[in-house]
Structure 1
Protein backbone atom coordinates (compact mmCIF):
# COMPACT_ATOMS: atom_id res chain seq x y z
CA UNK A 1 0.00 0.00 0.00
CA UNK A 2 1.44 3.36 -1.04
CA UNK A 3 1.70 6.25 1.42
CA UNK A 4 -1.34 8.11 0.07
CA UNK A 5 -3.53 5.03 0.41
CA UNK A 6 -2.18 4.34 3.90
CA UNK A 7 -3.03 7.89 5.00
CA UNK A 8 -6.52 7.50 3.56
CA UNK A 9 -6.96 4.24 5.49
CA UNK A 10 -5.95 5.93 8.75
CA UNK A 11 -8.38 8.81 8.11
CA UNK A 12 -11.09 6.27 7.41
CA UNK A 13 -10.44 4.51 10.72
CA UNK A 14 -10.43 7.80 12.66
CA UNK A 15 -13.81 8.72 11.22
CA UNK A 16 -15.33 5.26 11.65
CA UNK A 17 -14.21 5.05 15.28
CA UNK A 18 -16.32 8.14 16.05
CA UNK A 19 -19.44 6.25 15.00
CA UNK A 20 -21.12 4.55 12.01
CA UNK A 21 -20.46 6.34 8.70
CA UNK A 22 -22.87 6.63 5.82
CA UNK A 23 -21.35 5.50 2.53
CA UNK A 24 -22.52 7.12 -0.69
CA UNK A 25 -21.21 7.24 -4.21
CA UNK A 26 -20.19 10.58 -5.66
CA UNK A 27 -19.14 10.59 -9.30
CA UNK A 28 -16.54 7.85 -9.82
CA UNK A 29 -15.62 7.66 -6.14
CA UNK A 30 -17.02 7.05 -2.67
CA UNK A 31 -17.62 9.45 0.21
CA UNK A 32 -17.99 8.68 3.89
CA UNK A 33 -20.26 10.96 5.94
CA UNK A 34 -20.38 11.13 9.71
CA UNK A 35 -21.71 14.04 11.83
CA UNK A 36 -21.18 16.61 9.08
CA UNK A 37 -17.72 15.29 8.16
CA UNK A 38 -16.96 14.10 4.64
CA UNK A 39 -14.09 11.83 3.60
CA UNK A 40 -13.48 10.79 -0.02
CA UNK A 41 -12.24 7.19 -0.21
CA UNK A 42 -11.43 4.73 -2.95
CA UNK A 43 -12.84 1.26 -3.46
CA UNK A 44 -9.34 -0.17 -3.02
CA UNK A 45 -8.77 1.41 0.40
CA UNK A 46 -12.24 0.49 1.59
CA UNK A 47 -11.78 -3.10 0.43
CA UNK A 48 -8.41 -3.19 2.23
CA UNK A 49 -10.01 -2.02 5.48
CA UNK A 50 -12.68 -4.71 5.17
CA UNK A 51 -10.19 -7.47 4.30
CA UNK A 52 -8.02 -6.54 7.32
CA UNK A 53 -11.04 -6.94 9.57
CA UNK A 54 -11.01 -3.29 10.63
CA UNK A 55 -14.46 -2.22 9.38
CA UNK A 56 -17.59 -3.86 8.06
CA UNK A 57 -20.11 -2.73 5.46
CA UNK A 58 -23.77 -2.96 6.53
CA UNK A 59 -26.66 -1.58 4.47
CA UNK A 60 -24.80 1.41 3.06
CA UNK A 61 -22.90 2.13 6.28
CA UNK A 62 -19.35 1.59 7.46
CA UNK A 63 -18.93 0.41 11.06
CA UNK A 64 -15.61 0.13 12.85
CA UNK A 65 -14.71 -3.22 14.40
CA UNK A 66 -12.84 -3.56 17.72
CA UNK A 67 -9.55 -4.24 15.87
CA UNK A 68 -9.66 -0.78 14.25
CA UNK A 69 -8.59 1.11 17.38
CA UNK A 70 -5.56 -1.09 17.99
CA UNK A 71 -4.54 -0.89 14.32
CA UNK A 72 -4.79 2.91 14.36
CA UNK A 73 -2.73 3.26 17.56
CA UNK A 74 -0.04 0.95 16.19
CA UNK A 75 0.13 2.82 12.87
CA UNK A 76 0.40 6.21 14.58
CA UNK A 77 3.18 4.92 16.83
CA UNK A 78 5.09 3.61 13.80
CA UNK A 79 4.76 7.02 12.12
CA UNK A 80 6.06 8.71 15.26
CA UNK A 81 9.08 6.41 15.45
CA UNK A 82 9.76 6.85 11.75
CA UNK A 83 9.67 10.62 12.11
CA UNK A 84 12.08 10.47 15.06
CA UNK A 85 14.48 8.23 13.14
CA UNK A 86 14.34 10.55 10.12
CA UNK A 87 15.74 13.39 12.26
CA UNK A 88 18.98 11.41 12.65
CA UNK A 89 19.42 10.50 9.00
CA UNK A 90 21.60 12.23 6.45
CA UNK A 91 20.16 11.20 3.10
CA UNK A 92 22.34 11.77 0.07
CA UNK A 93 21.53 10.95 -3.54
CA UNK A 94 24.32 9.14 -5.34
CA UNK A 95 24.91 7.23 -8.55
CA UNK A 96 25.65 3.53 -8.30
CA UNK A 97 26.22 0.86 -10.94
CA UNK A 98 23.59 -1.87 -10.53
CA UNK A 99 23.67 -4.82 -12.94
CA UNK A 100 25.85 -2.85 -15.33
CA UNK A 101 23.56 0.20 -15.38
CA UNK A 102 24.02 3.47 -13.50
CA UNK A 103 21.05 4.21 -11.26
CA UNK A 104 20.29 6.95 -8.71
CA UNK A 105 20.17 5.66 -5.13
CA UNK A 106 19.61 7.22 -1.71
CA UNK A 107 22.15 6.50 1.01
CA UNK A 108 22.00 7.32 4.70
CA UNK A 109 25.40 8.80 5.49
CA UNK A 110 24.78 8.45 9.22
CA UNK A 111 24.77 4.65 8.89
CA UNK A 112 28.31 4.52 7.56
CA UNK A 113 31.00 4.02 10.22
CA UNK A 114 33.14 6.48 8.24
CA UNK A 115 30.48 9.20 8.00
CA UNK A 116 31.80 11.17 10.99
CA UNK A 117 35.42 10.68 9.99
CA UNK A 118 34.68 11.91 6.48
CA UNK A 119 33.97 15.36 7.92
CA UNK A 120 37.32 15.67 9.68
CA UNK A 121 39.59 18.39 8.28
CA UNK A 122 43.30 19.04 8.24
CA UNK A 123 44.62 22.36 9.50
CA UNK A 124 44.84 23.44 5.88
CA UNK A 125 41.13 22.77 5.44
CA UNK A 126 41.61 19.70 3.28
CA UNK A 127 39.72 16.51 4.11
CA UNK A 128 41.54 14.28 6.61
CA UNK A 129 40.40 11.17 4.73
CA UNK A 130 40.53 11.38 0.92
CA UNK A 131 37.43 10.16 -0.90
CA UNK A 132 39.39 7.18 -2.23
CA UNK A 133 40.14 6.09 1.34
CA UNK A 134 36.48 6.41 2.38
CA UNK A 135 35.33 4.45 -0.67
CA UNK A 136 37.88 1.74 0.11
CA UNK A 137 36.66 1.44 3.70
CA UNK A 138 33.03 1.19 2.63
CA UNK A 139 33.93 -1.40 0.01
CA UNK A 140 35.66 -3.48 2.69
CA UNK A 141 32.60 -3.18 4.95
CA UNK A 142 30.28 -4.21 2.11
CA UNK A 143 32.33 -7.33 1.33
CA UNK A 144 32.51 -8.13 5.04
CA UNK A 145 28.70 -8.00 5.19
CA UNK A 146 28.20 -9.98 1.98
CA UNK A 147 30.54 -12.66 3.26
CA UNK A 148 28.40 -13.12 6.39
CA UNK A 149 31.42 -12.45 8.58
CA UNK A 150 29.57 -10.45 11.22
CA UNK A 151 29.53 -12.33 14.56
CA UNK A 152 26.13 -13.62 15.60
CA UNK A 153 24.63 -11.89 18.63
CA UNK A 154 21.46 -14.00 18.84
CA UNK A 155 20.96 -17.65 19.59
CA UNK A 156 21.68 -19.95 16.68
CA UNK A 157 19.31 -22.85 16.06
CA UNK A 158 21.51 -24.40 13.41
CA UNK A 159 22.70 -27.96 14.17
CA UNK A 160 26.19 -28.17 15.58
CA UNK A 161 29.00 -29.86 13.67
CA UNK A 162 28.95 -32.78 16.09
CA UNK A 163 25.32 -33.49 15.18
CA UNK A 164 25.97 -33.60 11.43
CA UNK A 165 25.73 -36.92 9.71
CA UNK A 166 28.75 -38.22 7.81
CA UNK A 167 29.06 -36.61 4.39
CA UNK A 168 26.76 -33.71 5.27
CA UNK A 169 27.75 -30.34 3.81
CA UNK A 170 28.95 -27.62 6.15
CA UNK A 171 31.21 -24.62 6.50
CA UNK A 172 32.04 -22.92 3.17
CA UNK A 173 29.87 -25.44 1.34
CA UNK A 174 26.79 -23.81 2.92
CA UNK A 175 27.70 -20.36 1.56
CA UNK A 176 26.60 -18.98 -1.77
CA UNK A 177 29.18 -18.32 -4.46
CA UNK A 178 28.82 -14.56 -3.93
CA UNK A 179 29.46 -14.91 -0.19
CA UNK A 180 32.55 -17.03 -0.78
CA UNK A 181 33.84 -14.50 -3.33
CA UNK A 182 33.25 -11.69 -0.82
CA UNK A 183 35.26 -13.55 1.83
CA UNK A 184 38.11 -14.01 -0.59
CA UNK A 185 38.08 -10.29 -1.37
CA UNK A 186 38.17 -9.48 2.35
CA UNK A 187 41.14 -11.79 2.86
CA UNK A 188 42.98 -10.19 -0.06
CA UNK A 189 42.26 -6.72 1.33
CA UNK A 190 43.57 -7.66 4.78
CA UNK A 191 46.73 -9.11 3.26
CA UNK A 192 47.25 -5.90 1.26
CA UNK A 193 47.05 -3.76 4.41
CA UNK A 194 49.22 -6.08 6.44
CA UNK A 195 48.82 -7.28 10.04
CA UNK A 196 49.89 -3.92 11.50
CA UNK A 197 47.09 -1.97 9.79
CA UNK A 198 44.28 -4.41 9.00
CA UNK A 199 43.08 -4.60 12.62
CA UNK A 200 42.10 -0.95 12.91
CA UNK A 201 40.37 -1.06 9.51
CA UNK A 202 38.31 -4.06 10.62
CA UNK A 203 37.45 -2.45 13.96
CA UNK A 204 36.20 0.82 12.46
CA UNK A 205 34.82 -0.16 9.05
CA UNK A 206 33.40 -3.62 9.80
CA UNK A 207 32.67 -3.68 13.54
CA UNK A 208 31.66 -0.02 13.79
CA UNK A 209 33.94 0.83 16.71
CA UNK A 210 34.81 4.42 17.51
CA UNK A 211 38.37 5.68 17.45
CA UNK A 212 38.47 6.18 21.22
CA UNK A 213 37.31 2.61 21.77
CA UNK A 214 40.01 1.32 19.42
CA UNK A 215 42.67 3.30 21.28
CA UNK A 216 41.43 2.05 24.62
CA UNK A 217 41.28 -1.60 23.58
CA UNK A 218 44.68 -1.51 21.87
CA UNK A 219 46.34 0.71 24.49
CA UNK A 220 47.27 3.26 21.85
CA UNK A 221 48.05 6.92 22.56
CA UNK A 222 45.23 9.42 22.19
CA UNK A 223 44.44 10.53 18.63
CA UNK A 224 46.68 7.85 17.16
CA UNK A 225 43.87 5.62 15.86
CA UNK A 226 42.79 8.09 13.18
CA UNK A 227 46.35 8.26 11.83
CA UNK A 228 46.61 4.48 11.73
CA UNK A 229 43.19 4.25 10.09
CA UNK A 230 44.11 6.76 7.40
CA UNK A 231 47.31 4.85 6.64
CA UNK A 232 45.38 1.59 6.46
CA UNK A 233 42.67 2.96 4.18
CA UNK A 234 45.17 4.61 1.84
CA UNK A 235 46.95 1.27 1.50
CA UNK A 236 43.59 -0.39 0.92
CA UNK A 237 42.68 2.18 -1.75
CA UNK A 238 45.93 1.36 -3.59
CA UNK A 239 45.00 -2.32 -3.38
CA UNK A 240 41.59 -1.70 -4.97
CA UNK A 241 42.96 0.73 -7.57
CA UNK A 242 46.68 0.07 -8.10
CA UNK A 243 48.60 2.97 -9.66
CA UNK A 244 50.04 2.46 -13.16
CA UNK A 245 53.36 0.64 -13.20
CA UNK A 246 55.16 3.54 -14.90
CA UNK A 247 53.95 5.91 -12.19
CA UNK A 248 56.14 4.27 -9.57
CA UNK A 249 59.45 5.99 -9.01
CA UNK A 250 62.60 3.91 -9.32
CA UNK A 251 65.83 4.75 -7.56
CA UNK A 252 69.29 3.76 -8.73
CA UNK A 253 72.23 3.68 -6.39
CA UNK A 254 75.83 4.05 -7.59
CA UNK A 255 79.25 3.84 -6.07
CA UNK A 256 81.63 6.77 -5.71
CA UNK A 257 82.42 8.32 -9.06
CA UNK A 258 79.30 6.88 -10.66
CA UNK A 259 78.00 8.97 -13.54
CA UNK A 260 74.74 8.33 -15.34
CA UNK A 261 74.94 7.47 -19.02
CA UNK A 262 73.59 10.09 -21.40
Structure 2
Protein backbone atom coordinates (compact mmCIF):
# COMPACT_ATOMS: atom_id res chain seq x y z
CA UNK A 1 0.00 0.00 0.00
CA UNK A 2 1.30 3.40 -0.87
CA UNK A 3 1.12 6.23 1.64
CA UNK A 4 1.55 9.93 1.25
CA UNK A 5 4.14 11.20 3.69
CA UNK A 6 2.80 13.99 5.84
CA UNK A 7 5.57 15.32 8.04
CA UNK A 8 5.67 17.75 10.89
CA UNK A 9 8.69 18.99 12.77
CA UNK A 10 8.22 18.78 16.53
CA UNK A 11 10.41 20.29 19.19
CA UNK A 12 10.72 18.18 22.31
CA UNK A 13 11.97 19.38 25.65
CA UNK A 14 12.69 16.91 28.44
CA UNK A 15 11.32 17.38 31.95
CA UNK A 16 13.49 19.85 33.86
CA UNK A 17 13.44 17.95 37.17
CA UNK A 18 14.25 14.43 35.97
CA UNK A 19 17.56 15.05 34.20
CA UNK A 20 19.88 17.84 33.24
CA UNK A 21 18.61 19.87 30.35
CA UNK A 22 20.30 18.93 27.09
CA UNK A 23 18.50 21.42 24.96
CA UNK A 24 15.83 20.91 22.36
CA UNK A 25 15.53 17.98 20.00
CA UNK A 26 13.73 17.97 16.69
CA UNK A 27 12.02 14.87 15.27
CA UNK A 28 10.08 14.25 12.08
CA UNK A 29 6.73 12.49 12.51
CA UNK A 30 4.73 10.89 9.71
CA UNK A 31 1.18 11.96 10.57
CA UNK A 32 -0.31 9.66 7.91
CA UNK A 33 1.23 6.49 9.34
CA UNK A 34 -1.22 4.26 11.15
CA UNK A 35 -0.40 2.02 14.08
CA UNK A 36 -0.76 -0.97 11.75
CA UNK A 37 1.66 0.53 9.22
CA UNK A 38 4.16 1.13 12.02
CA UNK A 39 3.94 -2.51 13.13
CA UNK A 40 4.19 -3.72 9.52
CA UNK A 41 7.24 -1.56 8.78
CA UNK A 42 9.04 -3.15 11.73
CA UNK A 43 8.18 -6.71 10.74
CA UNK A 44 5.53 -7.40 13.39
CA UNK A 45 2.67 -7.82 10.88
CA UNK A 46 2.54 -9.58 7.51
CA UNK A 47 1.34 -7.95 4.31
CA UNK A 48 -1.90 -9.90 4.66
CA UNK A 49 -2.45 -8.50 8.17
CA UNK A 50 -1.81 -4.95 6.99
CA UNK A 51 -4.24 -5.21 4.08
CA UNK A 52 -6.95 -6.74 6.30
CA UNK A 53 -6.49 -4.04 8.94
CA UNK A 54 -6.59 -1.26 6.38
CA UNK A 55 -9.76 -2.71 4.82
CA UNK A 56 -11.36 -2.77 8.26
CA UNK A 57 -10.32 0.82 8.95
CA UNK A 58 -11.59 1.92 5.52
CA UNK A 59 -15.00 0.37 6.21
CA UNK A 60 -15.04 2.01 9.65
CA UNK A 61 -14.36 5.40 8.06
CA UNK A 62 -16.84 4.88 5.18
CA UNK A 63 -19.53 3.91 7.67
CA UNK A 64 -18.69 7.12 9.55
CA UNK A 65 -18.52 5.35 12.90
CA UNK A 66 -15.96 7.70 14.46
CA UNK A 67 -17.28 9.72 17.40
CA UNK A 68 -18.13 13.34 16.66
CA UNK A 69 -19.34 16.31 18.60
CA UNK A 70 -22.11 17.26 16.21
CA UNK A 71 -23.81 15.93 13.12
CA UNK A 72 -21.74 15.68 9.95
CA UNK A 73 -23.31 16.99 6.77
CA UNK A 74 -20.62 15.94 4.32
CA UNK A 75 -21.53 12.92 2.17
CA UNK A 76 -19.50 9.73 1.95
CA UNK A 77 -17.23 10.17 -1.07
CA UNK A 78 -16.29 7.03 -2.98
CA UNK A 79 -15.33 6.97 -6.64
CA UNK A 80 -15.62 3.91 -8.85
CA UNK A 81 -15.62 0.34 -7.62
CA UNK A 82 -18.46 -2.13 -7.22
CA UNK A 83 -20.49 0.34 -5.13
CA UNK A 84 -20.43 3.15 -7.70
CA UNK A 85 -24.13 2.83 -8.53
CA UNK A 86 -25.22 2.95 -4.87
CA UNK A 87 -26.41 6.10 -3.17
CA UNK A 88 -24.18 7.56 -0.45
CA UNK A 89 -26.52 6.22 2.26
CA UNK A 90 -26.43 2.74 0.73
CA UNK A 91 -22.62 2.83 0.57
CA UNK A 92 -22.50 3.86 4.22
CA UNK A 93 -24.84 1.01 5.21
CA UNK A 94 -22.83 -1.49 3.13
CA UNK A 95 -19.62 -0.39 4.86
CA UNK A 96 -21.30 -0.69 8.28
CA UNK A 97 -22.49 -4.20 7.41
CA UNK A 98 -18.98 -5.24 6.30
CA UNK A 99 -17.42 -3.67 9.40
CA UNK A 100 -19.87 -5.46 11.71
CA UNK A 101 -19.21 -8.75 9.90
CA UNK A 102 -15.43 -8.35 10.17
CA UNK A 103 -15.63 -7.53 13.89
CA UNK A 104 -17.91 -10.54 14.43
CA UNK A 105 -15.44 -12.72 12.48
CA UNK A 106 -12.62 -11.58 14.76
CA UNK A 107 -14.61 -12.82 17.73
CA UNK A 108 -15.14 -11.78 21.30
CA UNK A 109 -11.95 -10.87 23.12
CA UNK A 110 -10.01 -10.30 19.91
CA UNK A 111 -12.12 -7.49 18.52
CA UNK A 112 -11.25 -5.16 21.42
CA UNK A 113 -7.60 -4.69 20.53
CA UNK A 114 -8.38 -4.94 16.81
CA UNK A 115 -10.70 -1.93 16.97
CA UNK A 116 -8.35 0.06 19.21
CA UNK A 117 -5.29 -0.41 16.98
CA UNK A 118 -6.80 -0.60 13.47
CA UNK A 119 -9.65 1.91 13.77
CA UNK A 120 -8.89 4.20 16.71
CA UNK A 121 -5.17 4.32 15.87
CA UNK A 122 -3.93 3.49 19.37
CA UNK A 123 -0.47 2.06 19.85
CA UNK A 124 -0.36 -1.55 21.02
CA UNK A 125 1.11 -0.72 24.47
CA UNK A 126 -1.63 1.85 25.07
CA UNK A 127 -4.32 -0.63 24.04
CA UNK A 128 -2.82 -3.32 26.29
CA UNK A 129 -2.82 -0.96 29.23
CA UNK A 130 -6.40 0.22 28.59
CA UNK A 131 -7.61 -3.38 28.37
CA UNK A 132 -5.65 -4.44 31.46
CA UNK A 133 -3.63 -7.00 29.53
CA UNK A 134 -0.06 -8.13 30.25
CA UNK A 135 2.73 -6.33 28.41
CA UNK A 136 3.60 -7.80 24.98
CA UNK A 137 0.40 -9.81 24.68
CA UNK A 138 -1.28 -7.34 22.33
CA UNK A 139 0.74 -8.10 19.20
CA UNK A 140 -0.04 -11.79 19.43
CA UNK A 141 -3.78 -11.24 19.94
CA UNK A 142 -3.84 -8.55 17.22
CA UNK A 143 -2.22 -11.00 14.79
CA UNK A 144 -4.88 -13.63 15.54
CA UNK A 145 -7.67 -11.07 15.08
CA UNK A 146 -6.18 -9.84 11.79
CA UNK A 147 -5.94 -13.43 10.51
CA UNK A 148 -9.68 -13.84 11.06
CA UNK A 149 -10.45 -10.46 9.48
CA UNK A 150 -8.26 -11.34 6.49
CA UNK A 151 -10.30 -14.52 6.04
CA UNK A 152 -13.50 -12.47 6.24
CA UNK A 153 -12.28 -10.02 3.56
CA UNK A 154 -10.79 -12.93 1.55
CA UNK A 155 -7.29 -11.46 1.58
CA UNK A 156 -4.67 -13.88 0.32
1:212 maps to 125
TM (norm. structure 2) is 0.67
* Equivalent residue runs for 1:1-262 within 5 Å: 84=8, 87-89=28-30, 110-120=32-42, 127-152=43-68, 154=69, 156=70, 176-241=89-154
Runs of 4+ in structure 1 off by over 3 angstroms are: 82-85
Q: Who is 1:42 aligned against?
A: none
Cα distance between partner residues in 2 of 1:219 and 1:83: 33
Larger radius of gyration: 1
Alignment correspondent of 1:167: none
Match of 1:180, SS state, is helix
Q: Which structure 1 segments of 5+ residues have no match? A: 1-81, 90-107, 121-126, 159-174, 244-262
Q: Does 1 or 2 have the higher relative contact order (CA < 8 Å, sep 6+)? A: 2
Deviations 1:144-184 (A, max 9, x none): 000010011x3x268xxxxxxxxxxxxxxxx7111111000
Helix, strand or coil for the counterpart of 2:45? coil
Q: Deviations for 1:63-114, whole angstroms, at most 9, x for unmatched residues?
A: xxxxxxxxxxxxxxxxxxx8746x534xxxxxxxxxxxxxxxxxx8x43221
- What's the TM-score, normalizing by structure 1? 0.41
CA–CA separation in structure 2 for the residues paired with 1:84 and 1:139: 26
Unaligned regions of 5+ residues in structure 2, if any?
1-5, 10-27, 73-87
Coordinate RMSD, CA, aligned: 2.4
> For 1:113-160, what per-residue CA distance to the aligned partner results, in whole angstroms no more than 9, with x for missing partners?
21210123xxxxxx33110111000100000000010011x3x268xx
CA–CA distance in structure 2, aligned partners of residues 88 and 206 of structure 1: 20
* Gap change, CA 1:219 and 1:157, over 3 Å in 2: closer
1:113–1:208 CA contact under 8 A, matched in 2 = yes
